[in-house]
A and B are shown apart, each in its own frame.
Chain A
């Protein structure tokens, strides 16, 4: 039972990270039907920003929790700026082009950002400081759930609740939903579609940056390539949950994380990815639109 719980909590942590990144994929897809393959790189850039800021603040002698908060805030601002710029540079000029063009542009952006960070920083792995203090908050339970894992899970839950409330109750959220339903119609009733799309990229990038800093602090190392694998996994999670649906991305992330954890724990870590992608294939066979995805009614 303890083993099961340990695996469950490990899977939950991993799933939370996938979910945080998957939200960005799913939001962008929901609004402009584009798979933003550069999203994983935004997560990586968030982590790098966190590293640089944390290094600076440690040098200036800030206390631990303050470093964590300021690093996350800076990572959010910087990653959001990148997300915003990428959309303006790589996707906006192609908004009316055939759907393949922005996809290629996204892949190009992803490779560009990877190489840019590699050249600007280094291709080596860099140590990331432990920003979340390590302590056992329940006696003898440190092996089941560590403080860092708890913070990651809580941050994800808070982000998701916040995002859902934002979409439901704010004016911008309403505009986003309208744009997602029908961009042209939204434009006609006075929604500033460009602003909505920029906002989507900014929110998605911010969430990815939070994930980047938290997981980097948890595992203690980053390099320019971490965004690629995390991005692929998060994209899988988004598709698994039903791309375009916010609760779907959450659920997809958690399901993927738990599947990997249990496959490792009860079968073998050799088969971690095999089971993860087998699950994806199975879901797509039986529910082509994902777990929470809705079948799209053909527009006449």
Chain B
């Protein structure tokens, strides 16, 4: 009985969805036709459709909905100022629930609707599944949150851009910073977890690729072990000139305390799992001088505060995750349309690579691979019990 009921419900939902889609499409056609008749122009578009793909329902909706809100806010702002080259921006959200199989459906739908620019997708897996369709359909895609490195670095997707730094950017910054300190031999320690070990492995790859600097120790510690004195001794006997730790603050503070107590005053560098005030509280005086990379601080950017205020005014709440990145992506995409003078695929891509745009995450343009330049991480150091950015 229950199965039957849910089947019927499902049928209703499907029917309702179809009806809604059909209705929308018809309405759009009508509007287009009308506009054409009124202006008498066929070539110049009167509206720019911005597709927003991502999880708008399901358990990851909290990551996708802020992007949809950001796109609406940007569209409202731009439309109020007269649109992009006179054309109004229309936001079309499409839900993929962060599922790869739904993401391909969404991509096909956007393609068949003739959408040229897409903000999304949210999750790396869904993005990867949808990208081949966008490449074939010559659609420009920009994700605010897909951090998986190969998406840009593989070079397979010239139409893909992102306003968030990829996972390995933090490791690249860490290694570059270690080099700038003049360190030649690095011990890499991690907590065996997905995040900590992933970060540590990227650091190792970057160091291995550089002949001037080498990894003398690469090991995982067991979180929660009674003490780490043996690992500390091992770091010491490896002759490391600096330590990079991937993981979270409890292990980091134990290791750094052990090192300082054994009079090892070599630099200790870690990731944004450690760039946390709890670390300073727990490690106390031994935290002094520890370096950690962490996301850049946008709070002093007036565009960022403006976007947050707009969100509060429109939706009555503080924005969720990836909101500044999505807001920036929408701005960058629409700016590219403006610079390119239309939605021509190659011109759009050129515009994204070459023209700067002011966004909440800073003044950005995109590098040859599609990653936003200047977005990402900064190095911080504990000074007098506070994390201060190292300039």
Contact = CB atoms under 8 A, between A and B. Distances in A.
Interface of A: 3, 6-7, 10-11, 13-14, 17-18, 124-127, 134, 136, 142-143, 146, 148-149, 215, 218-221, 223, 225-226, 228-230, 233, 260-262, 264-265, 268-270, 272-273
B222 A273 contact: yes
A113 B22 CA distance: 60
B221 A269 contact: yes
A221 B282 contact: yes
Given A6-B237, A262-B230, 13 more contacts: A7-B230, A13-B229, A14-B229, A142-B262, A143-B263, A220-B282, A220-B283, A221-B250, A221-B282, A225-B224, A226-B224, A265-B233, A268-B220
B283 A264 contact: no
Interface in B214-246: 219-222, 224-234, 236-237
B142 to A, nearest CB: 38
Contacts of A225: 224
A270 B227 contact: no
B254 interface: yes
A17 B237 CA distance: 25
A143 B236 CA distance: 9
B234 A265 contact: yes
Nearest to A143: B262
A215 B226 contact: yes
Nearest to A230: B226
6 A-B pairs closest in CB distance: A10-B229, A264-B230, A261-B230, A6-B233, A229-B224, A127-B282
Contact of B284 (A14, A127, A228): A127
A227 to B, nearest CB: 11
Contacts of B219: 268-270
B282 A269 contact: no
Nearest to A9: B229
Contacts of A7: 230, 233
B258 interface: yes
A270 B278 contact: no
28 contacts: A6-B237, A14-B227, A14-B229, A17-B226, A125-B278, A134-B261, A136-B263, A143-B263, A143-B264, A146-B261, A218-B227, A219-B226, A219-B227, A219-B254, A219-B258, A220-B254, A220-B257, A221-B257, A221-B282, A221-B283, A223-B250, A228-B224, A261-B230, A264-B231, A264-B234, A265-B230, A269-B230, A272-B230
A268 B227 CA distance: 15
Contacts of B283: 127, 220-221
A123 B282 CA distance: 13
Nearest to B189: A269
B250 A229 contact: no
A221 B224 CA distance: 11
B179 interface: no
A148 B258 CA distance: 11
A219 B257 contact: yes
A88 B263 CA distance: 47
B233 A14 contact: no
Nearest to A129: B284
Given A134-B261, A220-B257, A3 B226 contact: no
A229 B226 contact: yes
Nearest to A266: B234
A3 B250 CA distance: 26
A272 B226 contact: no
A281 to B, nearest CB: 18
Contacts of B236: 6, 143
Interface in B28-45: none
A265 B236 CA distance: 11
B192 interface: yes
Contacts of B232: 10
B189 to A, nearest CB: 8
Contacts of B258: 219
B366 interface: no
B286 interface: yes
Interface in B139-195: 192
B25 to A, nearest CB: 51
Given A220-B257, A220-B282, A11 B230 contact: yes
B278 A10 contact: no
Contacts of B226: 14, 17-18, 215, 219, 229-230, 233
